[in-house]
Amino acid sequence: MEAFGLLLHGFAVLMTWKILLLMMVGLVLGIFVGVLPGLGGPNGVAILLPLTFAMDPTSAIVMLSCIYWGALFGGAITSILFNIPGEAWSVATTFDGYPMAQQGKAAEALTAAFTSSFIGSLVAVLLITFLSPTISSFALKFGPPEFFAVYLLTFCSFVGLGREAKHKTVISMALGLLIAGVGMDTVSGTLRMTFGSTDLLRGINFLVAVIGLFGISEILLTMEERLALRGHAAKISLRVVLSVWKDLPKYWATLLRSSFIGCWLGITPGGAIAASFMGYNLAKRFSKDPESFGKGRIEGVFAPETAAHASGTAALLPMLALGIPGSGTAAILLGGLMVWGLNPGPLLFVEHKDFVWGLIASMYLGNVVGLVLVLTTVPIFASILRVPFAAVAPMIVVSCAIGAYAIQNAMFDIWLMLGFGVAGYVFKKIGIPLAPFTLALVLGSRAEDAFRLAMIGSGGSVGIFWSNGLVGAITTLAITLLFWPVIDKVFTGIGQVLRPARAQIIGPVKVSRVPRQSSTE
């Protein structure tokens, strides 16, 4: 029961008025950015990050993760009331959520969404709680070759499993890695790709790029598309909440299935989007009455929301334990950790126990408080949408600029932000995915350093990546994933030869209306 003791310790760290206040502030801000069209989890966290620079790391991460929970909750509000998924992973929620709102059952749909978000996160947090202690004993096994193998695995899985055109994923990733390399090279101490500019000397900051790519480009895109929202108002009463909760046990199978899918896809970098669709599709497949899905069935809200949130939460585990972000928001939190001088990775669990357990405890508290908060304040937040966009847009621009400047106190970063804003706008429109870029930017220099340190250690022999069971297994898995599409084809080919009449088990996901990707997954 080591985990339990550590968790109690984590709660003790949190129980100060200051931290509880920051949690509330974070949640409110999070719901706010989740509801605002054109913002959302990663963007909101990126823009609000500078607020936390002057705090100690524990307070800062607690506030940031609360912003994240808030954004997750907030995304459901717009999906259900306005049929606008605030986040890409809320798309599946609109399938049944919006029809429910049309039928006057908005309150039920919202309660279902919030409750299932809560359940999904809770399952994932429990998983994190009980897996974390084992991670710290595993920690010291990680030297440069192991770290590089893990980074390689992340990169390869993106190229191999991504749904976008392969060459576009490769472009995005190579560009991110190159930009991460600008500035001084730690291993040799020489300058690279700076072309004599003193502004490029310090490198291109990951967060500046993210603020431009997501914040500014979203404003441009939102402005480009006509923004006309037509939605339904909702007021949640205690009676509705209780009646939805009373029915919960009926859906235990759906909730459990979705939680499991979510946790699995969150830990492996599959992401919340895949999780929400998979949760929805499986619920439909196992249902006795699949025809009623898409017409306002409450299970159609439970399934994707539980999966998306389990996945969003579980994504924090690989971030903390290995330094690999499982989602876009996790990548930004990772950038934040590095700003505070914390090196995510297995050693974090050894060196900064207070921090890690404080964060885990805050996941419990943040979710409980968040649930109560959203249930009571839905009408207020829904009315944010009535604020004219012409007022919201310049405020977001200003917040982006403040964020970009505060990271390094450099005017040059403001121009970089603007440049990345334009690049993000064009990339999104021609289908170059931004997720691999973000990931490459945040992991790039770490991956390169790990590779070169491994090489120095081994005297230049690549064999070091198969020198023990741990590193060998990870490297092999990485290469398998890179060539997964090829391998998959070969196996399917063989399968078809053997059993030509085999039917496909899970049909392709049908998405009638895919919104613009506003997240990085």
Euclidean distance between CA atoms 477 and 66, whole angstroms: 34
Which of residues 150 and 432 has its CB atom nearest to another protein in the complex? Answer: 432
Does the CA dihedral 218-327-41-414 come out positive or negative? Answer: negative
Cβ 391 to another protein, closest distance in Å?
5
Cβ 294 to another protein, closest distance in Å?
21
Which of residues 131 and 384 has its CB atom nearest to another protein in the complex? Answer: 384
Which of residues 253 and 411 has its CB atom nearest to another protein in the complex? Answer: 411
CA dihedral 13, 48, 432, 512 (to 10 degrees): 90
Which of residues 351 and 354 has its CB atom nearest to another protein in the complex? Answer: 351
**Under DSSP, is residue 306 helix (H, G, I), strand (E, B) or coil?**
helix
Cβ 309 to another protein, closest distance in Å?
25
Which of residues 60 and 261 has its CB atom nearest to another protein in the complex? Answer: 60
Cβ 166 to another protein, closest distance in Å?
8
Give the residue from 121, 40, 1 showing the smallest Cα distance to 367.
Answer: 121
Which of residues 223 and 473 has its CB atom nearest to another protein in the complex? Answer: 223
Cβ 211 to another protein, closest distance in Å?
12
Which of residues 161 and 447 has its CB atom nearest to another protein in the complex? Answer: 447
Euclidean distance between CA atoms 459 and 464, whole angstroms: 10
Cβ 90 to another protein, closest distance in Å?
18
Look at the block and give the residue holding tokens 């392969």. Answer: 166
Give the residue from 5, 4, 75 showing the smallest Cα distance to 43.
Answer: 75
Cβ 331 to another protein, closest distance in Å?
19
End-to-end CA distance of the chain, in Å? 35
Cβ 313 to another protein, closest distance in Å?
26
> Phi and psi (nearest 5°) for 155?
-60, -45
Cβ 428 to another protein, closest distance in Å?
12
Which of residues 217 and 259 has its CB atom nearest to another protein in the complex? Answer: 217
Cβ 17 to another protein, closest distance in Å?
16
Residue 461's contacts (CB-CB under 8 Å, 6 or more residues apart) are none
Cβ 255 to another protein, closest distance in Å?
26
Which of residues 127 and 236 has its CB atom nearest to another protein in the complex? Answer: 236
Euclidean distance between CA atoms 269 and 150, whole angstroms: 12
Residue 419's contacts (CB-CB under 8 Å, 6 or more residues apart) are 212
Which of residues 72 and 432 has its CB atom nearest to another protein in the complex? Answer: 432
Longest dimension (CA), the chain: 70
> Phi and psi (nearest 5°) for 183?
110, -150
* Per-residue DSSP letter, 462: G
User: 266, 272 in Cβ contact below 8 A?
Assistant: yes
User: 306, 280 in Cβ contact below 8 A?
Assistant: no
Which of residues 264 and 457 has its CB atom nearest to another protein in the complex? Answer: 457
Do strands 183-184 and 191-192 pair parallel, antiparallel, or not at all (unpaired)? Answer: antiparallel
Q: CA dist 471 to 83, 149, 185, 268, 452, Å?
A: 46, 6, 25, 17, 16
Beta bridge partners of 192: 183
**Under DSSP, is residue 183 helix (H, G, I), strand (E, B) or coil?**
strand
Euclidean distance between CA atoms 121 and 205, whole angstroms: 31
**Under DSSP, is residue 409 helix (H, G, I), strand (E, B) or coil?**
coil
